[in-house]
Amino acid sequence: MKNYTTQMDAARKGIITKEIEAVAKKERMETSKLMELVASGRVAIPANKNHVSLSPEGVGEGLRTKINVNLGISKDCRCIDTELEKVQKAIDMKAEAIMDLSSFGKTEEFRKRVVEMSPAMIGTVPMYDAVGFYDKELKDITASEFLDVVKKHAEDGVDFMTIHAGVNRETAHIFKRNSRLTNIVSRGGSLLYAWMELTGNENPFYEYYDELLDICAQYDVTISLGDACRPGSIADSTDASQIKELILLGELTKRAWEKNVQIIVEGPGHMSLNEIQSNMLLQKKLCHGAPFYVLGPIVTDVAPGYDHITSAIGGAIAAASGADFLCYVTPAEHLRLPDLDDMKEGIIASRIAAHAADIAKGIPGARDWDNSMSKARAELDWEKMFELSMDPEKARRYRASSVPAHEDSCTMCGKMCAVRTMNRVMAGKDINILRNDD
C-alpha cells in the first residue's frame, strides 16, 4: 500500500518513487536534488497511477526541455487508425508528451488506446470532450458534468490535463474592457467564455477548483493550467487580459500545491521576439517557479505553412529564457489538421528548439551530442553522422540523392571541402584539387 498520494506528496515525505528514480537517472541528477525540486513544485512528473506503460519524464527547472505533440480526431477528420499512426510516429521520434485533442464523438476508445500504447506522458483537454461525451449543446452542460469528464479522463490514465480555470468572470470583465485584435483564440478558453456568457454562471473549473484538485490528487493527474487569454496575434501579446489571467494562474498554482497536486502553467501564444524573455521571467515570478509550457511562441503572424519555423524560433528563445516544455507547431497551423508529414516537420522543429535551448541553459550532457557530431564531421565519418542525426532518415536520403565523385566530400564542395583539405594537409598529404587522382 502506497503511503503517498502524488509525486509531490511523496517528495515532501522523502519517499523515492520509481518515477522519481527513473527521471533522476534520465536527467543525470542526484535523486535528492530532484526530490527537492518536485517537493517545491519547480519540477512536475506527470504520472497517472493508471498509465502502466508510462516511461516517466520530468518537466521543469534544471531538466531537459521537453516537447509535446498534439493530435486527435475531429468532426472533419475522424479516422482513429490515422491518428494512432501519428501516435506511433511521435513515440518513434522521441516526443516526451502526446496530447489527445479529440473534439468529436465518443473519444473514450481512442484515448484508452493511446494511453495503453504510449510510454510518453499523455495529456488531454476535457473541455473539448464534454460536448461529444454528453451529446448536449454547450449551454446545457452543467458544472458537475464538466467535472465528471475530468474524472473520466483521470480514470482512463491521462497524466496531465489542460484546465482553463483562469478565465473566470473577473478575467472576462478585463477582456471586455480591453479590446483585442484577435479576441480569445484558445479553443477551450473560448468555449468556457461562451458558456459563462450563455449561462451567467462562473467558470466551473474555477468555482469548483477544490473538487477538481481532489480528483487530480486521487489519480496523480498534473494540472496544466491553460492560458485561455493567450495572445493569438503579436498585436495582443502581454496585454491586460493575458497578464490578469497569469496572476490568477499563480494563485491557483499555490492552491494546488497545498493539496499536493502538481502544476504546469501554460503560456503564449503569438509574441514578438523582444517580449519573449521578459514574459518568461514574469511567468516564473508570478507562478512561483512552476514549470512553464509554451505554444511557440509564434514570432510573426504572416507565415502560414511555415509556422513550425516561426514557432521554433520563439520556442528556442523561450526555453533558453526559462520555459520548460514546448508544444510543437506544424506547417499546418491555422490551416488544417496536420497529416503525418506535417507532424514530423513539427516534431523536428520543436526538438531543434528544445535542444538549442538546453545547450544555452547548460543542461548536463546537452553539448555532448553536438561534440560527437562535430568529431564525426571532422573525421568525415558519414555513417556516424547519420547515427547522430536528429533525423537519420532524411540525412541518409539527402546524401544518397547526390553522390559525390570522392567519398570524403559532398557534391557542394567536392575536393574543395575544407574538412578534407585540412585533414590531408595536417597529415602531410598532397592537396590535389584539379587532378583526378586522390
Pick out the residues of the known binding site.
70, 99, 128, 164, 186-188, 227-230, 266, 270, 293, 334, 410, 413, 417
- Under a CB-based contact definition with an 8 Å cutoff, are residues 253 and 60 in contact? no
**CA-to-CA dists, residue 352 to 356, 358, 393, angstroms:** 6, 10, 16
Among residues 211, 73, 225, 224, the alpha carbon closest in space to that of 151 is found at 211
* Tally of CB atoms within 10 A around 437: 5
Dihedral sign of CA atoms 107, 204, 229, 158 in order? negative
CA distance 273 to 171: 26
Strands (E), 149-249: 160-163, 222-225
CA distance 139 to 50: 32
CA distance 71 to 68: 10
Among residues 156, 139, 153, the alpha carbon closest in space to that of 51 is found at 156
CA distance 134 to 389: 46
Question: If you ran DSSP here, which 8-state letter would residue 162 be given?
Answer: E
Among residues 276, 261, 298, 285, the alpha carbon closest in space to that of 165 is found at 261
Cell of 438: 586522390
Q: What are phi and psi of 433, to 5 degrees?
A: -80, -40
| Bind-site residues for [4Fe-4S] cluster | 410, 413, 417
| Bind-site residues for substrate | 70, 99, 128, 164, 186-188, 227-230, 266, 293
SS percent in the chain: helix, strand, coil, step 5: 50, 10, 40
Cell of 195: 458558456
| Bind-site residues for Zn(2+) | 270, 334
Cell of 415: 575536393
Which helix or strand (DSSP H or E) is residue 66 part of?
strand 66-71
Beta strands 121-124 and 43-44 are: unpaired
CA distance 128 to 101: 7
